[in-house]
Structure 1
């Protein structure tokens, strides 16, 4: 079996692309042949990675086409990557598995690929069923018809970009309804949101993310703290996001909660890009800034040194940060947002409170820091990752669905839709 895994970026481009890279790597480790096609490389390509746009002038041409369609409001709508490159290499693979499309890949590329090969699409955010946004953030227009999108950016020279969200969403709906694409959702929450907008040609599936537990230490937290130069007798709370000032990640709620427990003298570990405004908001707290961490070994050590992960996301699918903290035997205090309740059972392996409820969050953090059962919650979190979100389970679930390939008649029928 030979699989083409396709994503916007390599692992440094975000959680969705990281999942794609891990899937390709783990397939190869298991003796299957997998190549990872990447639109934007952040790191030096691995041996199994190729550029989705091809090479040389083809890369520039794909980027230029997407740029021009974006300026017209038709975000990544023309399937440039298919006609310029993927079309010519697709016959080398038995299966094509897409991941994050946003800003790099046309939804029509899914449809064109499904005409010729069994096609899978893991949906990591809401852009698969909205007219533009990654997460609606309270807007429910996507359930009927997207229009007058509040999140649309401005173009060059602050010139408004035409609102084509209704048309773009209708095309995504057509692709899902008419083509035998196997949609995969990491959380039941994301699937339920998609059902509000899409009708599926093929029954969608839920496959949670998997974590490789090798980098995560099993030694005592006190020993890990000492190795990182952190006092072992102080409570340690971690906050983490790729970009900490991203409003969706709700770090302002986390900082307010941390300020509310200053009397407990916590040490704060911040992981991610932190701007001046956030640093000022953290004044009065002892903060160990780690910045954005690429090294998985170091990241695992940092999460293991924390007694609590404070994660206040306002919209998320099945955030890897939560799974990583759990793998590090660190209980998570979080808002009950999106797919988070599918990982955290409040009182057992962490604590959940109502989203955006600052008072409840402050109280939960204080109670957790003072709880005599904090270590036991962390141990339970680790067991839950081992049982439900392991690398082995993740790979086995994918191999099982790959082996249940769609009938050739389904592909023949989808060819007629394009009549090519």
Structure 2
């Protein structure tokens, strides 16, 4: 039986963690011996392994994660909120029994004092195929996870706009150099979840010469599924006679890559356009940890806080007329896929991997990048659409045909077997 070990920093915390766990489950359903081992384990699932053998090691791991964040403030400009990872701490993983026993090592998100360049390079000693899914840009930059318009990753980084003291040999260039030295020792097979990530990898100075394959993430289509809208609203205590727009975590206007300021501006425009009809629209917002610290919005808003129950989250998607995501840079955001899987269309900017999921005016609306007016047009299009059932069907069909568990698992199995030279007649390659 093919043995695959997935390595990630956390167990389901964040999009990368969820993607890792969902892929692991999908592979197990296809009779693959698939396991997940994490740097820091929050949950209690006994099937998820950890590199920490005891409470002391776990405390040390937590300490290095926190210390990295504290030290980072000495180097990063305070007004910049772009995620950035340094290479000060790391740990070896090559002696773990499940890593040694695996046929394929599959890396996911390995930052936060986990696999620094030195310990990444160690993996080459195991002489096993290494697959690495890029959930953001960090693997091929000098530290940042979100690039925006910065093109320094095309060269060798340096002069980093996020650093207090940028120059040709700044810490971003030194991290780039460390990564380059490590990667030269490794045979890395890259998976890009979106066409945007694929093109980014192929143009990067660190990874342009590596084999790269586009395979999307997957999700639980039996959990995120269409539910009767009226019934969903009843269960959530939402009005049945209103247009309801759902949106995710609402950070401050300063959180650049989330695009909150564009959404708030768009809502103001929509309210002006609708005039007396504005009372017919409400918002539902999930993901806010602090219900008292939320932005003032143009429409009545229902703040649900953080939702840790996928069944309830799916109910929220199903209750909405559309999901709004104003993100300015995203690889293959799960909120979009989850919404579509529940039959709920999406309004988003044309950016990152979102166009791989949202088909303009078929299962949602792709607004012009950074145009609040175009985003408003998208919301207006939803309100005025005369065939909601058709929209819902297109949304669900998109996920089932492109992102369902079996489809994505088989694509991964085909890659694994190709790397191992063990393709099975009638199997993933048959």
TM bucket normalised to smaller = 0.7 to 0.9
Please state which structure has a larger fraction of its residues in helix. 1
Q: Does 1:50 align with 2:61?
A: no
CA contact (8 A) 1:177 1:201 kept: no
1:300–1:151 CA distance, 2 compared to 1 (3 A): same
Among residues 184, 187, 209, which one is paired with 1:180 in the alignment? 187
Structure 1 unpaired stretches of 5+: 155-161, 408-420
1:39-84 per-residue CA deviation (whole Å, 9 max, x = no partner) reads 122222x1221223443444455566677788497955367421xx
Determine the structure 2 residue equivalent to 1:140.
151
Q: Does 1:151 align with 2:159?
A: no
CA contact (8 A) 1:111 1:181 kept: no
Determine the structure 2 residue equivalent to 1:105.
115
Q: Does 1:377 align with 2:382?
A: no
State the 1:397 CA deviation.
1.0
1:327-353 per-residue CA deviation (whole Å, 9 max, x = no partner) reads 111111110011111111111111111
State the 1:235 CA deviation.
0.3
1:273–1:107 CA distance, 2 compared to 1 (3 A): farther
CA contact (8 A) 2:252 2:295 kept: no
State the 1:368 CA deviation.
1.9
State the 1:137 CA deviation.
1.9
Determine the structure 2 residue equivalent to 1:77.
87
Determine the structure 1 residue equivalent to 2:325.
311
Determine the structure 2 residue equivalent to 1:165.
172
Further displaced range: 297-306 or 49-58: 49-58
1:88–1:142 CA distance, 2 compared to 1 (3 A): same
CA contact (8 A) 1:9 1:40 kept: yes
Mapped partners of 1:229, 1:316: distance in 2: 31
Mapped partners of 1:68, 1:42: distance in 2: 18
Aligned-partner SS, 1:405 = helix
Determine the structure 1 residue equivalent to 2:240.
232
Determine the structure 2 residue equivalent to 1:96.
105
Write the mapping of 1:12-91 to structure 2, written as runs, cut at 5 A: 13-44=13-44, 46-61=45-60, 71=71, 77=87, 80-82=90-92, 85-89=93-97, 90-91=99-100
Determine the structure 1 residue equivalent to 2:415.
401
1:124-145 per-residue CA deviation (whole Å, 9 max, x = no partner) reads 0010111111111222222122
1:289–1:153 CA distance, 2 compared to 1 (3 A): farther
Mapped partners of 2:375, 2:21: distance in 1: 35
State the 1:269 CA deviation.
0.6
RMSD value over aligned CA atoms? 2.7
Q: Does 1:248 align with 2:257?
A: yes
1:247-278 per-residue CA deviation (whole Å, 9 max, x = no partner) reads 31112222222233334321101011265797
Mapped partners of 2:391, 2:146: distance in 1: 31
Further displaced range: 265-274 or 107-116: 107-116
Determine the structure 2 residue equivalent to 1:301.
315
Determine the structure 2 residue equivalent to 1:5.
6
Aligned-partner SS, 1:261 = helix
TM-score, structure 2 normalization: 0.84
Determine the structure 2 residue equivalent to 1:220.
228
Mapped partners of 1:41, 1:298: distance in 2: 24
TM-score, structure 1 normalization: 0.86
1:33–1:153 CA distance, 2 compared to 1 (3 A): farther
Write the mapping of 1:355-366 to structure 2, written as runs, cut at 5 A: 355-366=369-380
Mapped partners of 1:53, 1:200: distance in 2: 34
Aligned-partner SS, 1:241 = coil
1:69–1:332 CA distance, 2 compared to 1 (3 A): closer
CA contact (8 A) 2:40 2:62 kept: no
Determine the structure 2 residue equivalent to 1:330.
344
Among residues 262, 266, 270, which one is paired with 2:285 in the alignment? 270
State the 1:398 CA deviation.
1.1
